[in-house]
């Protein structure tokens, strides 16, 4: 028996428990691997700080891009300037990692380890954020239906404030 369109749409929009667990596991493996490798490396403290900052910068900017693209796809407001700045930040974080690893006094295998842990973390942090967004609304409603447009939200807040006792 084939599911009707309404059931199929609900099914497609929700990640499976196995996919959610695999995404979290990949994020843990990538991030812990990167951070333990950084801690155990023979790099100076200021170099470790550089690689940590680049890692956090990349994770944040990649999640920001994913969220902004998803907002636009769901009809939520987002400016092109913000999306552009997010892409620039993401690109700079990748360039900084590449430049840092290229100039680092590390074995090629260590550079590869940092690169692969970094890429695994990037992929998985985006996937985890997507999964979290997909399961926010357990009723399967479109987020634009759940979260009102900013003007409607302001009206709702104003109405609610009017109901408060003086």
pLDDT in tens, 5-27: 454 444 456 788 899 999 999 99
pLDDT band at 78 (very low <50, low <70, confident <90, very high): confident
pTM of the model: 0.72
**CA distances (Å), origin 113, targets 29, 118, 121, 124:** 12, 8, 12, 16
Give me the pLDDT at residue 88, please.
Answer: 96
The pLDDT of residue 1: 47
Note the Cα 103 to chain centre separation in Å. Answer: 28
In this model, does residue 58 exceed pLDDT 60?
yes
- Token pair recorded at residue 117: 């842990």
Element (H, E) at 40: helix 17-40
Q: 131 and 63 in contact (C-beta within 8 Å)?
A: no
């Amino acid at each position: 028996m084939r599911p009707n369109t309404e059931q199929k749409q609900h099914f497609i929009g929700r990640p499976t428990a196995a996919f959610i667990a695999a995404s979290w596991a990949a994020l843990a493996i990538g991030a812990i691997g990167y951070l333990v490798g950084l801690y155990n490396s023979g790099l100076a403290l200021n170099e470790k700080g550089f690689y940590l900052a680049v890692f956090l910068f990349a994770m944040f900017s990649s999640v920001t891009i994913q969220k902004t693209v998803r907002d636009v796809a769901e009809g939520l407001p987002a400016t092109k300037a913000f999306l552009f700045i997010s892409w620039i930040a993401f690109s700079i974080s990748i360039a900084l990692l590449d430049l840092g690893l290229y100039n680092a006094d590390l074995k090629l295998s260590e550079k590869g380890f940092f690169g692969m842990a970094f890429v695994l973390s990037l992929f998985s942090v985006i996937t985890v954020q997507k999964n979290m967004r997909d399961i926010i609304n357990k009723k399967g409603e479109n987020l634009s239906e759940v979260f009102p447009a900013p003007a409607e939200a302001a009206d709702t807040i104003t109405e609610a404030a009017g109901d408060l006792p003086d």
